């Protein structure tokens, strides 16, 4: 199994954990989780945060792949 950078795994995992309640909130079921998630704006903020976390995790992943392609 190929090893992934720890920062990639952490940021991607947090991004997925952030996206789940965001999508639930945007679907209109956020008030079942918490009253603050009843607004669609809260769901949008969580989804945007999830995209930012996953994007931040991709940088170390791409750098590791480029370094492996160079042979270093």
**60 φ, ψ to 5°?**
-65, -30
72 in a structural domain: no
Indicate if the pLDDT at residue 2 is higher than 80. no
Range of the domain at 51: 6-67
| Model pTM score | 0.84
**Which residues fall within 8 angstroms of residue 14, CB to CB, at 6 or more apart?**
53
Counting the structural domains of the chain, the total is: 1
Any domain includes 42: yes
Task: Give tens-digit pLDDT for 14-47.
Answer: 999 999 999 999 998 988 888 888 887 899 999 9
């Amino acid at each position: 199994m190929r090893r992934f950078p720890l920062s990639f795994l952490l940021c991607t995992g947090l991004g997925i954990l952030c996206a789940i309640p965001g999508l639930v909130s945007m679907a209109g079921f956020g008030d079942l989780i918490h009253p603050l998630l009843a607004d669609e704006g809260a769901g949008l903020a969580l989804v945007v945060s999830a995209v930012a976390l996953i994007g931040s995790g991709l940088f170390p992943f791409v750098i590791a792949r480029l370094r492996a392609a160079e042979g270093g």
